[in-house]
Amino acid sequence: MLQKKIGTRIISLAVLAATLSGCSHLPQSNKKPAPVHLNVKKVVLDNGLTVLIAPNSKLPIVSYYTLFDVGGRYEGPGTTGATHFLEHLMFKGAKKYGPGQFDNLIERNGGMTNAYTTNDATVYYQNIPSSFVETMIDLEVDRVQNLLLEPIGFESERQVIFEERKMRYENSPDGFIYLMMMKKVFEGTPYGQSVIGDVEDLKSLSRDQVMNFFKTYYAPDNAILAIAGDVDPDKLIPIIKEKYGAIPRSKGLMELKAKSDDPKNYEFKANFNTEYSYYATNPIPKFMMAFKGEKAGTRRAFILDVLAYELGNGGSSYLAQKYVRNQTPLLSDISLSSYNLRHSGVFYLSGELMDNVTIENAKKQIKLDIKNFCSQALDARTLQKTKNQIMSQAYQQMKTNAGMASTIMMNEKVYGDYSYGTKEMEIYNSVTESEVKKECLAIFVNSDSIFISTWDKYPKNLSASLSLETK
């Protein structure tokens, strides 16, 4: 079904009792924001399911998140798109609640349900009235235990996915260039396979293949359940134990994943001194310049996050001022991102040209400038600005039940600690100017990059199958 989140940054900024020093020239208060206490109850069931409950009785509503630790990276050649296809099919009916009943029950009670798939995970989520929580548990347990995968629903959903693919990638220049960047940067690694799936693979995926994928990866010891909202953990946990507790552990999954997760599989294999041009429907050229990034959770990953923010976040940032907001702008838009995946990462600059600028000129200018980014752009004040922005965003994220459930769930998955947000903020706040400069030089001065551009003036045969390219 539904929404697919491909390429979302995995930074799960979270709760904080962090310092906020004021080195601004502005007359703002020097008071620190009050610390926020995380009220979360965690239990791990005998079958390995991790359960997190964050009570909040402000409103009679609940956000219910389920993460399965399986993403596009576990798909082998010929089966790209299987994880996402399965995500759609999870809404097509199970034994107790047959076709149409899952959505129907949730929606008729005022809830909404959706899901997304990334390279690393599949997440199902519902926003529901608190009176519906027990039924929600029953619905989720039923589909994890007894998924039907009926042939008729299977085929019609395949057509839906083709339309989704067109919407997100083939008819979206931003989606298309992102897809090609990921394919090129992670070529030869599990992250080089598109999460939405290649057309030929999608055409040939069989019900048995998808069912096999389901049976292999949808196990309680490969999942995290996070519930935030108007619930009483002491009353809910026994019900969860009773319902989910009957689902058996996986067999051999951890060994299979360990083999697939061998760090050697994720070592970069692409040539980072290449350029690719693709036909796409954008009348004004777009580009991406991608460097080797860092996997989530390391100190370097935090530093690269800070670097991306410092250089490229907001209209006052160095890159926006240099290329977009000046008298003779080269670009109409620019951004810098650090995408930290579970086992690897990519650090990339993306932009769209002004209509009187050629891609050759833009590329030449940026490549000329790039070696000066680190000496011109980074200082103590921009570092502090970045830390303030990260903190403000973290608070915003935690204001809703969905934000809370998602954050504690992702922290539990990536760090094995739902409350890692506090630690995370400490790490962000401990990043020094010299650390950021060092990584800046390592990326922009001492590393090669893959340069990708798209334009509707490029020959059409450069992209028809999403697999042709010119070097």
Partner 1 sequence: MKTTLLMFTVLLFSVKSFAVTKVENTIKRLNWNGIDVVYIEDNRFPTYDLLVYFADGALSDVKGQLGATKHAFNLLDAGTAKLSQKDILDQFEFLGTEFGVDVTHEYSTLSMSGLSKDLATSMTQTCDLLREANFPAPIIKQELDKERSELQSLVASPQALADRVFREVSLGNTPYSYPVTGKLHDLDLYTPEVLRAKVSYFLDKVKKRIYLTGPKSILSVEKILAEKCKFKGGPSDFVRSIAYKKQKRSKTEIVFIPVPDANQVQVQIGRFLNFDEIGDRRLDTLATEFLGGGFTSRLMREVRVKRGLTYSIGSYISSQKQYGRSGISTFTKNETINKLIEVINDAVEKIKKEGISQEDLERSRGAIVGAHPFKFESNRAFLAQLLYLDHIERPYAELFDFNQAVMKYTTTDVSKKIEDVFGTNSQIIFVLGDKSIEKELKKLSPKLGKMKVLDYKSFI
Ranges within 171-200 binding partner 1 (CB under 8 A)? 171-173
Should residue 21 be labelled a site residue for partner 1 when binding is judged by CB under 8 A? no
Instruction: Report helix, strand or coil for 107.
Output: helix
CB atoms within 10 A of CB 251: 11
**55 binds partner 1, rule: CB under 8 A:** no
Which residue type occupies 278? Y
- Of 23-31, 47-55, 180-188, 434-442, the segment contacting partner 1 by CB under 8 A is 23-31
- Taking the complex as a whole, the smallest distance from the CB of residue 281 to partner 1 amounts, in Å, to 5
Three-state DSSP state, 419: coil
33 lines the binding site for partner 1 (CB under 8 A): yes
State how far the alpha carbon of 105 is from the alpha carbons of 91, 93, 114, 139, in Å: 12, 12, 14, 9
Which among 189-197, 249-257, 358-366, 387-395 is the span making contact with partner 1, rule CB under 8 A?
387-395
Contact between 464 and partner 1 per CB under 8 A: no
Which CB, 91 or 214, lies closer to partner 1? 91
Q: Does 163 bind partner 1 (CB under 8 A)?
A: yes
Q: Cβ(240)–Cβ(225) under 8 Å?
A: yes
Taking the least distance from each CB to partner 1, the nearer of 162 and 415 is 162
- From 150, 162, 257, 458, residue interacting with partner 1 (rule: CB under 8 A): 162
Minimum Å distance from CB 353 to partner 1?
8
CA dihedral over 262, 293, 301, 336, signed as positive or negative: negative
Half-sphere exposure of 423 (CA within 13 A, CB side): 13
CA distance linking residue 62 with residue 229, whole number of Å:
4
As a whole number of angstroms, the distance between CA 255 and CA 272 comes to 32
Token readout for 89 is: 């099919």
Least separation in angstroms between residue 352's CB and partner 1 is 7
Closer CB to partner 1, residue 60 or residue 238?
60
For 105, counting Cβ atoms within 10 Å of its Cβ (0-12 exposed, 13-18 middle, 19+ buried), the class is middle
Over the window 95 to 134, marking each residue x when it contacts partner 1 by CB under 8 A and - when it does not, the resulting string is: -----x--xx--xxxxxxx-------------xxx-xx--
151 binds partner 1 (CB under 8 A): no
Query: With contact defined as beta carbons under 8 Å apart, do 89 and 79 qualify?
Result: no
- Residues 344-363: x/- map of binding to partner 1 (CB under 8 A)? --------x-xx--------
Cα separation, 183 vs 189, in Å, equals 9
Size of residue set near partner 1 by CB under 8 A = 84
> Binders of partner 1 among 266-295, rule CB under 8 A?
280-284
CB of 344 to partner 1, least distance (A): 30
Residues in 78-97 that interact with partner 1 by CB under 8 A? 91
Q: How far is the CB of 156 from partner 1 (least distance, A)?
A: 4
Q: Tokens representing 27?
A: 């007359």
DSSP of 61-91? EEEEEEEES--GGG--TT-TTHHHHHHHHTT
Least CB distance from residue 354 to partner 1, whole Å? 5
